[in-house]
Structure 1
């Protein structure tokens, strides 16, 4: 106990800026905890020196000018709680609160949806609960083929990510959506190694643990995990796909928001 008090006494003799540099070498969670130690640590842990270190290196290229007036700590938590729209409105970026790693979402307009531009099969609508201006609603198809292409340069390096299909089913959805499993696949482009699994999208139909069932996100949408991958240092493209092309049951009523990438817990 006395040794710990002596160490704290020595650290307290350091300039606040020096303590800030030390705290910036930890994590956002540790920085918040250290702010409870003393008023000196609170000032040091709240400084821009600390929180700019936790922000993505390219954050200045991503944020709007209206956010420049925020302190770096306020900006960090703003990006955690309010995903910002990027990429011509087809993508969004947010931060994972515990680690500061990037969360990335490709909206429906940024996905490759077979027959997605054919009005008799799909329609594009606006819904207030979506962060994107448009989502895709399935009118009817026999083949379901949806792919998202994500470049790893947009994600945090050396991180295990999980991909999630984010969707809803309208009241007009066809019972074929309930009974017919779809195949989910996540892999690097041109890679021969990939893990596939089948799921049923309707969360009411299947309540077991295999195949995985959908989870309600709390924002009006369901999500289902598609798979995971580890980001590489060199730029590469990850392909996330949802397919059902072997069963000729008519499918309808699926509302696609997008595919989200989040650091794996």
Structure 2
């Protein structure tokens, strides 16, 4: 029989998923798996800054409870970002609100309007009223993410039932890291539907970038691309653009941009 401290050290080199499973083995493993030593290692090194930037004060009595709070996602940075830890691995995810993105003419109420939506945790989402120049850009530094992890970048959006002009020409998605640039195209096909606000179809490009899918939270997402967060700190730039059409379009609803770990085959 190993002392509890030794069990805790061993478990700290596994994963949150493995630590939780080991607690079912015996009371000794359960006690070791509850220790702060284990869950301190599963928390990101910058967790004090994340906790202090939470819009709502977090209540926890142990590092395990803190991990669970962060795994449930928290609103941070004045309500402009959502932070979440992946429950199985402890890897970091972020959602930047639409206000954190660079959207052409978004400050002009003739083109964009900002409204609250009950389906969004952010105070406001961006709704495209009309434009002939659609350009949405975002960026993140890899130092804020989990090192040595493959991430996907996703634009979270909907299409309103009054949308028009979005399906006339394909939009281009771009992801840039250093000198590496990947591009693809996506067509927004809008139609009336009781179950969802529009449908989308990815075309060209690779199998994943430019594809669209329905999320579990009722929104839809366009995969802008994937990248690897290595040891070096690099800026990752993403965009969705359609600037050559010179035709009016409207009805696109933007909640934000998400960066989350990708898994094999997904």
| TM-score, structure 1 as length reference | 0.88
Candidates 44, 52, 55, aligned match of 2:43: 55
The 3-state SS of whatever aligns with 1:43 is helix
Give the distance between the partners of 1:261 and 1:205, measured in 2 at CA: 20
Correspondence for 1:204 among 199, 207, 215 = 199
Equivalent residues in 2 for 1:136-147 (5 A)? 136-147=126-137
| 8 Å contact kept, 1:105–1:259 | yes
Determine which structure has more spread, i.e. the larger CA radius of gyration: 1
Unpaired runs of 5+ residues, structure 2, are: 190-197
Match of 1:244 in 2: 242
What's the counterpart of residue 193 of structure 1?
Answer: 180
Alignment check: 8 A CA contact 1:51 1:72 kept: yes
Give the Cα–Cα distance (whole angstroms) in 2 for the partners of residues 47 and 92 of structure 1: 27
Which range moved further: 220-229 or 84-93?
84-93
Match of 1:181 in 2: 170
Superposed CA RMSD: 1.9
- Partner residue of 1:121? 111
User: Aligned partners of 1:138 and 1:110: how far apart in 2?
Assistant: 16
Flag the structure with higher helix content.
1
Change (3 A) 1:206 1:161: closer
2:24 to 36, 42, 47: 36
Deviations 1:90-126 (A, max 9, x none): 2221011221010011110000000010110001111
The structural deviation recorded for 1:68 is 4.7
Instruction: Structure 1 unaligned segments of length 5 or more: list them.
Output: 1-12
8 Å contact kept, 2:184–2:203: no
Following superposition, the deviation at residue 87 of structure 1 comes to 2.4
Instruction: State the Cα distance separating 1:79 from its structure 2 match.
Output: 1.4
Separation in structure 2 between the aligned mates of residue 112 and residue 197 of structure 1, nearest angstrom: 20
Which one is further off, 83-92 or 142-151?
83-92
If each structure's strand is expressed as a fraction of its own residues, which one has the higher value?
2
Distance in 1 (alpha carbons) for counterparts of 2:59 and 2:44:
15
User: Match for 2:74 among 78, 84, 91?
Assistant: 84
1:200–1:213 contact (8 Å) kept in structure 2? no
What's the CA shift for 1:88?
2.8
Aligned to 2:152, what secondary structure does the other structure show?
A: strand
Between the aligned partners of 1:61 and 1:71, the Cα distance in structure 2 is 17
Cα distance in 1 for partners of 2:254, 2:90 equals: 27
Q: Provide the residue aligned with 1:104 in structure 2.
A: 94
